[in-house]
């Protein structure tokens, strides 16, 4: 029983009827260790034994979360890349939207990239390229900051940003960067205190983009004034490039704040565990 296999699933499911909590916990652990292979068997068991339905549903959810945790643990293998950011962003989404088809939404970003490429193709200067890209993203596609419902949870999920065309600074910035990376634009995230920005960082043209404000362009001095005016003070490090792991962590922390405010402690506990896994901490 230390190394359960698929052939063990049937007998293990039958043991879910046991009311001894210690035995039940052991059986659940073994089934969870089998992983997603066990899920079809568990779902079939709810038909033959409906009374076990709630208990089986709980086990299926535990398997799902366990698989998500494994995926978060493997996130660093993608490196500090836009692909890693895309993977991490969709993993966050799958916590709350388990049935999302990630490939469908990646394809939507690909399609937008094809359209955007046509829009910027005629330009040669980085200034003109960025302006054309911003026009496509914020005007043609209508992406904008959700100022009326800033604390709505859906503002933090990448697929909902694509569906609804609105979000908070970091989620809009992530989509902006993922789209731009498909066009080889020199973009990276800047996790300034209180407000996430994107930087266009070419050799001959450097500027910050505020995706929440419709693509407003900001110089270093304007960013510094914004931070000082909002009580954060200013350090040059505030405008440094944010690694992908830090961006994913910040996205998760935003959700933690929202779920704390909504009194959903189970979500908070799970999200904190995801942060530990992303950061390679031992838990």
Q: What are residue 80's phi and psi, to 5 degrees?
A: -85, 70
For residue 1, being part of any structural domain is answered with: no
Same structural domain, 93 and 204: yes
The total of structural domains in the chain comes to: 2
Which residue range(s) make up the domain with 36?
6-73
In tens, the pLDDT along 106-140 reads 999 999 999 999 999 999 999 999 999 999 999 99
In tens, the pLDDT along 245-256 reads 999 999 999 999
SS3 188: strand
For residue 13, being part of any structural domain is answered with: yes
Q: Are strands 166-167 and 144-145 parallel, antiparallel or unpaired?
A: parallel
For residue 283, being part of any structural domain is answered with: no
> 276 CB contacts (<8 Å, ≥6 apart)?
282, 283
Which residues are paired to 195 by β-bridges? 192
Q: Is the pLDDT of residue 282 over 50?
A: no
pLDDT at 147: 95
Same structural domain, 33 and 125: no
In tens, the pLDDT along 137-161 reads 999 999 999 999 999 999 999 999 9
In tens, the pLDDT along 26-37 reads 888 888 888 888
SS3 34: helix
Same structural domain, 67 and 144: no
Token representation of residue 247: 């961006």
Same structural domain, 187 and 232: yes
- Chain length of the chain: 283
In tens, the pLDDT along 35-84 reads 888 888 888 888 888 888 888 888 888 999 999 999 999 998 999 999 99
């Amino acid at each position: 029983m230390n190394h359960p296999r698929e052939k063990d699933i049937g007998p293990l499911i039958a043991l879910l009827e046991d009311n001894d909590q210690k035995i039940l916990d052991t059986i659940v652990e073994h089934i969870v260790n089998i992983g997603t292979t066990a899920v079809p068997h568990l779902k079939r068991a709810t038909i033959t034994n409906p009374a076990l339905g709630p208990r089986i549903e709980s086990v299926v959810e535990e398997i799902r979360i366990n698989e998500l945790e494994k995926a978060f643990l493997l996130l660093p293998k993608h490196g500090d890349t836009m692909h890693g950011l895309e993977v991490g962003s969709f993993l966050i989404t799958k916590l709350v939207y388990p049935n999302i088809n990630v490939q469908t939404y990646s394809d939507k970003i690909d399609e937008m990239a094809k359209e955007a490429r046509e829009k910027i193709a005629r330009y040669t200067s980085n200034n003109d390229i960025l302006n054309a890209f911003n026009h496509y993203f914020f005007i043609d596609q209508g992406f904008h900051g959700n100022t009326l419902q800033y604390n709505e949870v859906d503002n933090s999920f990448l697929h909902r940003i694509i569906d609804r065309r609105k979000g908070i600074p970091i989620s809009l910035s992530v989509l902006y960067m993922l789209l731009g990376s498909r066009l080889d634009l020199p973009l990276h995230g800047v996790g300034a205190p209180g407000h996430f920005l994107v930087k266009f960082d070419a050799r001959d043209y450097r500027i910050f983009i505020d995706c929440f404000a419709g693509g407003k362009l900001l110089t270093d001095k304007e960013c510094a004034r914004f931070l000082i005016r909002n009580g954060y003070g200013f350090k040059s490090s505030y405008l440094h490039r944010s690694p992908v792991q830090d961006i994913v962590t910040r996205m998760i922390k935003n959700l933690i704040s929202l779920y704390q405010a909504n009194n959903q402690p189970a979500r908070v506990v799970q999200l904190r565990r995801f942060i530990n896994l992303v950061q390679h901490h031992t838990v």
